[in-house]
């Protein structure tokens, strides 16, 4: 598959996961490869997060901006704020973030995962290739990603529009629970 096909898929369906879920297919099930995902990340055409059940989730720009309007972010802990502050002016890989945060591994992981789940941070570009099917990411705050991917969504009812997009994978009740 090509990244154009993945991009089209994201535009149409809005959400994709890295690993299998009962509801949303993963990149492999759909015939995509890691390089398809990283190309879209490098082009700022995909928002990487953990907003769906704490799983690696890929959002289309439209779904990202709709979620921003209708799914309130939880407040950051002190540790999350520290990592967020580090990423405001500097893009970094995980290893750099760990080193500069001076946090214990468990403390760091909890704060970092929270930031991904609440969409405060995202991958802005591919990092080092570990093997053909995996690489590191370079992270930044969501606002920096937004600067590359301006909002194009114009709606008076973001919940309705998001529900319409996600109903191909989720029931209306599942969408409501997802937005809590």
User: C-alpha dihedral over 109, 93, 34, 129, to 10 degrees?
Assistant: -130
Instruction: Give the pLDDT confidence score for residue 99 in this predicted structure.
Output: 95
With a cut of 60, say whether residue 1 has pLDDT above it: no
Mean pLDDT on 19-25: 82
26-57 pLDDT tens trace = 888 888 988 899 999 999 999 999 999 999 99
Give the domain ranges of the chain.
6-179
pTM (two decimals)? 0.93
Q: Is 179 exposed, middle or buried (0-12, 13-18, 19+ CB in 10 A)?
A: middle
Domain 6-179: state its class: mainly alpha
Lowest model confidence (mean pLDDT) among 16-30, 92-106, 141-155: 16-30
59-70 pLDDT tens trace = 999 999 999 999
- Going by pLDDT thresholds of 50, 70 and 90, the confidence category of residue 134 is confident
Average pLDDT of every residue of the chain:
92
Instruction: Give the pLDDT confidence score for residue 4 in this predicted structure.
Output: 60
């Amino acid at each position: 598959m090509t990244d154009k096909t993945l991009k089209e898929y994201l535009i149409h369906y809005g959400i994709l996961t890295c690993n299998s879920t009962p509801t949303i297919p993963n990149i492999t099930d759909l015939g995509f490869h890691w390089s398809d995902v990283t190309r879209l990340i490098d082009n700022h055409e995909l928002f990487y997060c953990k907003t769906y059940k704490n799983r690696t989730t890929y959002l289309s720009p439209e779904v990202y901006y709709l979620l921003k309007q209708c799914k309130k972010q939880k407040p950051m802990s002190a540790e999350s704020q520290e990592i967020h502050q580090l990423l405001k002016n500097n893009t970094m890989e995980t290893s750099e973030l760990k080193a500069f945060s001076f946090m214990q591994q468990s403390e760091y992981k909890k704060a970092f995962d929270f930031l991904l789940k609440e969409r405060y941070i995202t991958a802005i570009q591919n990092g080092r290739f570990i093997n053909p099917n995996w690489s590191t990411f370079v992270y930044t705050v969501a606002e920096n990603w937004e600067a590359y991917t301006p909002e194009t969504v114009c709606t008076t009812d973001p919940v309705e529009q998001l529900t319409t997009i996600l109903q191909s994978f989720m029931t209306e009740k599942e969408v409501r629970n997802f937005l809590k």
